[in-house]
Chains A and B, each alone.
Chain A
Amino acid sequence: MTPTTTRAADGVRPPGGTTPGKATPGTRPAPAAGRRQGRRETLAGYLFLTPWCVGILLLTLGPMLVSLYLAFTDYNLFDSPKWIGFKNFQDLFADDRWWTSVQVTLKYVLIGTPLKLAVALAVALLLVKPRKGQGFYRSAFYAPSLIGASVSIGVVWRAIFNDDAVVDKSMSLFGWDVGGWIGDPDWALPTLITLTVWQFGAPMVIFLAGLKQVPGELYEAAEMDGAGRWRRFRSITLPMISPVLFFNLLLELIHSFQVFTSAVVIAGSGTNTGGPGDSLLVYGWYLYEQGFRNLRMGYAAAMAWMLMLGIGLVTAVLFKTQRGWVHYEEDAR
């Protein structure tokens, strides 16, 4: 075996048992050779990082800076941008449709996210105990979120909830006559929320992993003390998976704020903008419309930065409150 122990330490855990991070310098070969070897590895490391570095500079940081600049300009994509200071931001606050888009998005996020997480957790609880066909059910429930971002699922949703389609017809059987759900300003957003709730697979998988980490002794002890199912869920499961819950909540919130494709596809971008009575005018769609249809790229950039501020704020608040309800094992010890 030619590789030095450093390589073993970096990669695989040595059979002896020290964790990679705790590998002592003593186990390394002679210093000079080690440094050379180290430098070569550093170089190799950077070399492997290059695509990522180039990517983040060219495709993330660069565009972000440009977008920040554009947010303070009047830019129509074709003529060069004109500096107008904070005017875009002032216009935003005076723009009724901007407020509409904020409202629609907040409704979508505040109703959709908790519902989605609740469903994900409920299904994860059902699937966590070993039973026949478990693998099948897990994949079946996960499948919708795999294809969720794609246009095709939006098209299917549209077909299901359209005028005279399955949902409309079966509801009419029970005397509930809505007509086409996606064409009804009162029902379009609930339809969109149903779609996101249905795509609960990703948080479900994370919940599953979290649920498996809860030590079984806790339940046994609680059961001996006479705690019922609900009590056990509230006092053991929820606190024990609270870090996972926190992670899921954060991820789903950020994700929901950026909803775009499903709204556009469901409303049918070819004929509508914003859906019936702007009831599906989510933030991302309005941003896109201003930027690429109305050619107000500076305005769209300002919108994007407001969205980023909003998401940043929500994230910060969540992190502040996590002390109150998220329990990490280390805290207990």
Chain B
Amino acid sequence: MGAGRWTARARGVRAAAAAVAALGLLATGCGGGSGSGDGKVTIRYSWWGAKDRAELIQKTVKLFEKEHPNIKVKTDFSEYTDFWSKFNTQAAGGNAPDVFQNSYAFLRKYGDKNLLLDLNGQADAGNLSLKGFRDGLEKAGDIDGKLLGVPVGANTFAFFYNPDSYRKAGVTVKDGWTWDDFFAAAKKVRKSDGTRYGASDNANVMYLYDLYLRQNGKAFFTKDDKLGFTKDDLAEWWGRWQQHAKADELVPGKKSEQAKPKASISADLSASEFTWDNFLVRFAAETKTTLDLGPIPTTDGKRTGQYLSSLMLSGSARTQHPKEVAQFIDFMTHDPEVGKIMGYNRGIPATTAQYDAYQPQGVDAKIAAYEKSVSAKLEPITPHPAGADVAEAAFLRIYAQVALGQTSMGKAVDQFFNEAESALGS
């Protein structure tokens, strides 16, 4: 008995020592990322997404480890907003993941705080190839001459609709249709479809409003980090949607809140909705209804204001292993096998090598056809200053309160400007 107890205690002491050592590592800011005696290097890779993406990413990581036996990749994932809360905490403690999923909206926010690795140096050293990216994407992660992210996939905004409902209502969705056409269509669909509303109330979607502003020669954010529209502009946009919502043509605020986390269209509440084209993958899993992708309505019958946005991989400026991080990003963006595994889960692959390797089927084929159909209309992306994410969250939340009848339009517009301006100013 005595001996057993002693070994147990010794084990306890060893565990405690290990814990203290681990704490020490964390405190010095290199937790887990250090190389061990056998020359093997461990890098941490974190990203946001759901379970389906997790399985695909595990496969690609295994593939990478096989090709680079000296590098071990530890993965970590959570949902979108939780991901950023966690990232902020880790980064503030000097313990950001070595490499992580990022998007255009966050490049400046973290770039300004010197948290992101400038990958230009690694590209020059030959650890990362910047060739072979599809049109419009080679400069996607370039912020003021620093390469802060490399795109893995790209997506663009789209009009989702239920072809059956629209056919029944006698509406055809066609290139160059206008916002008036869209609202008239929603009204018709609402009248002919007994169960669905004509459209989801998407007045709260910052990216859609951005397109509308771009059609009118403006944009949501300006190059000097300000809001690119006036209070009157916003009151007009929100007011227009509200008018149709009150006429019972759009999904009421309460219903769309209740449907969350599903989107109104995938909860079969509405016959149309605006969002990123790669969401078709997710919607196909959520609803049995077949959905099609159509063109964004316009102001002048020509310009949709669309652009490619992208999901990226970024490195931490504090990483101990910039070379391995660059090799990892290079593999994840260029390797054809990775392209085959990931499909359009993170948007259409950013490099031609991966794009060509994957033969889209089912909903993926729809997305591919849609992106092909809009490729000639694409323009440069609207800049996203630091604080853009906070402004987006405020835009969503405050309009939801309008739709729920909790606040007046005037008050809501004022509140949005207050919150957004203070977020952009900081």
Query: Is there a chain B Cβ closer than 8 Å to A272's Cβ?
Result: yes
Question: Measured between C-beta atoms, what is the minimum distance from B220 to chain A in Å?
Answer: 18
| A294/B423 in contact, CB under 8 A | yes
Query: Is there a chain A Cβ closer than 8 Å to B177's Cβ?
Result: no
| A278/B397 in contact, CB under 8 A | yes
Q: How far is the CA of A274 from the CA of B406 in the complex (A)?
A: 14
A residues near B85, Cβ cutoff 8 Å: 288, 292-293
1/0 contact trace for B141-165 toward A, CB 8 Å?
Answer: 0000000000000000000000000
A residues near B92, Cβ cutoff 8 Å: 77-78
Q: Which single member of A74, A184, A271, A294 contacts B390 (CB below 8 Å)? A: A294
Q: How far is the CA of A269 from the CA of B400 in the complex (A)?
A: 16
| A183/B259 in contact, CB under 8 A | yes
| A277/B401 in contact, CB under 8 A | yes
Q: How far is the CA of A300 from the CA of B90 in the complex (A)?
A: 17
A residues near B404, Cβ cutoff 8 Å: 185, 276-277
Q: Which of A71-127 contact B (CB under 8 A)?
A: 74, 76-79, 96
Q: How far is the CA of A269 from the CA of B254 in the complex (A)?
A: 18
Q: Which of B369-423 contact A (CB under 8 A)?
A: 390, 393, 397, 400-401, 404, 406, 415, 423
A residues near B415, Cβ cutoff 8 Å: 96
Q: Which single member of A183, A184, A278, A295 contacts B88 (CB below 8 Å)? A: A295
Query: Is there a chain B Cβ closer than 8 Å to A258's Cβ?
Result: no
Query: Is there a chain B Cβ closer than 8 Å to A179's Cβ?
Result: yes
A residues near B253, Cβ cutoff 8 Å: 277
| B254/A76 in contact, CB under 8 A | no
Query: Is there a chain A Cβ closer than 8 Å to B243's Cβ?
Result: no
| A269/B79 in contact, CB under 8 A | yes
Q: Which single member of B258, B390, B393 contacts A183 (CB below 8 Å)? A: B258
Q: How far is the CA of A15 from the CA of B84 in the complex (A)?
A: 62
B residues near A295, Cβ cutoff 8 Å: 88, 426
Q: How far is the CA of A185 from the CA of B92 in the complex (A)?
A: 35
Question: Measured between C-beta atoms, what is the minimum distance from A288 to chain B in Å?
Answer: 8
Q: Tell whether A273 pairs with B258 under 8 Å between CB atoms, given A78-B92, A294-B390.
A: no
| B79/A293 in contact, CB under 8 A | no
Interface centre among B80, B84, B91, B254, by most A CB within 10 Å? B254
Task: With CB as the reference atom, state the residue of chain A lying closest to B82.
Answer: A269
Question: Measured between C-beta atoms, what is the minimum distance from B47 to chain A in Å?
Answer: 14
| B257/A185 in contact, CB under 8 A | yes
B residues near A272, Cβ cutoff 8 Å: 260
| B393/A270 in contact, CB under 8 A | no
| B81/A179 in contact, CB under 8 A | no
A residues near B254, Cβ cutoff 8 Å: 179, 183-185, 276
| B257/A269 in contact, CB under 8 A | no
| B113/A276 in contact, CB under 8 A | no
By size class, the interface of chain A is 20 to 34
Q: Which single member of A76, A79, A277, A296 contacts B257 (CB below 8 Å)? A: A277
Q: Which of A173-207 contact B (CB under 8 A)?
A: 179-180, 182-185
Query: Is there a chain A Cβ closer than 8 Å to B222's Cβ?
Result: no
| A268/B260 in contact, CB under 8 A | yes
Q: Which single member of B81, B115, B259, B260 contacts A293 (CB below 8 Å)? A: B81
| B88/A293 in contact, CB under 8 A | yes
Task: With CB as the reference atom, state the residue of chain B lying closest to A295.
Answer: B88
A residues near B362, Cβ cutoff 8 Å: none
A residues near B390, Cβ cutoff 8 Å: 293-294
A residues near B4, Cβ cutoff 8 Å: none
B residues near A294, Cβ cutoff 8 Å: 390, 423
By size class, the interface of chain B is 20 to 34
A residues near B70, Cβ cutoff 8 Å: none
Query: Is there a chain A Cβ closer than 8 Å to B255's Cβ?
Result: yes
Q: Which of B251-309 contact A (CB under 8 A)?
A: 253-255, 257-261, 267
Q: Which single member of B80, B393, B406, B426 contacts A185 (CB below 8 Å)? A: B406
Question: Measured between C-beta atoms, what is the minimum distance from A260 to chain B in Å?
Answer: 13
Question: Measured between C-beta atoms, what is the minimum distance from A295 to chain B in Å?
Answer: 6
1/0 contact trace for A257-285 toward B, CB 8 Å?
Answer: 00000000000111111101110000000
Q: How far is the CA of A79 from the CA of B85 in the complex (A)?
A: 17
Q: Which single member of B88, B406, B423 contacts A292 (CB below 8 Å)? A: B88
A residues near B58, Cβ cutoff 8 Å: none
Query: Is there a chain A Cβ closer than 8 Å to B89's Cβ?
Result: yes
| A273/B260 in contact, CB under 8 A | no
B residues near A96, Cβ cutoff 8 Å: 415
| B88/A273 in contact, CB under 8 A | no
Q: Tell whether A78 pairs with B400 under 8 Å between CB atoms, given A184-B257, A268-B261, A294-B423.
A: no
| B400/A277 in contact, CB under 8 A | yes
A residues near B260, Cβ cutoff 8 Å: 183, 268, 271-272
B residues near A273, Cβ cutoff 8 Å: 81, 393, 397
Task: With CB as the reference atom, state the residue of chain B lying closest to A178.
Answer: B258
Q: How far is the CA of A264 from the CA of B91 in the complex (A)?
A: 23
Task: With CB as the reference atom, state the residue of chain B lying closest to A74.
Answer: B426
Q: Which of B62-121 contact A (CB under 8 A)?
A: 79-82, 84-85, 88-89, 91-92, 113, 115
Question: Measured between C-beta atoms, what is the minimum distance from A207 to chain B in Å?
Answer: 37
Q: Which single member of A179, A185, A270, A276 contacts B79 (CB below 8 Å)? A: A270
Task: With CB as the reference atom, state the residue of chain A lying closest to B404.
Answer: A277
A residues near B88, Cβ cutoff 8 Å: 77, 292-293, 295
Question: Measured between C-beta atoms, what is the minimum distance from B161 to chain A in Å?
Answer: 22
| B113/A78 in contact, CB under 8 A | yes
Question: Measured between C-beta atoms, what is the minimum distance from A287 to chain B in Å?
Answer: 12
A residues near B91, Cβ cutoff 8 Å: 77-78
| B80/A270 in contact, CB under 8 A | yes
Q: How far is the CA of A183 from the CA of B92 in the complex (A)?
A: 34
Q: Enumerate chain B interface residues (CB-CB to A < 8 A).
A: 79-82, 84-85, 88-89, 91-92, 113, 115, 253-255, 257-261, 267, 390, 393, 397, 400-401, 404, 406, 415, 423, 426
The 10 closest A-B pairs by CB, nearest first: A183-B258, A180-B258, A77-B92, A270-B79, A276-B257, A183-B257, A78-B113, A292-B85, A271-B261, A163-B258
16 contacts between A and B (CB under 8 A): A74-B426, A78-B91, A78-B92, A179-B254, A183-B259, A183-B260, A184-B258, A268-B260, A270-B82, A271-B261, A273-B393, A276-B254, A276-B404, A277-B406, A292-B89, A295-B426
For the A-B complex with A179-B255, A183-B260, A268-B261 known, give 6 more contacts whose Cβ atoms are closer than 8 Å: A78-B92, A180-B259, A269-B79, A269-B81, A293-B84, A296-B426
Q: Enumerate chain A interface residues (CB-CB to B < 8 A).
A: 74, 76-79, 96, 163, 179-180, 182-185, 268-274, 276-278, 288, 292-296
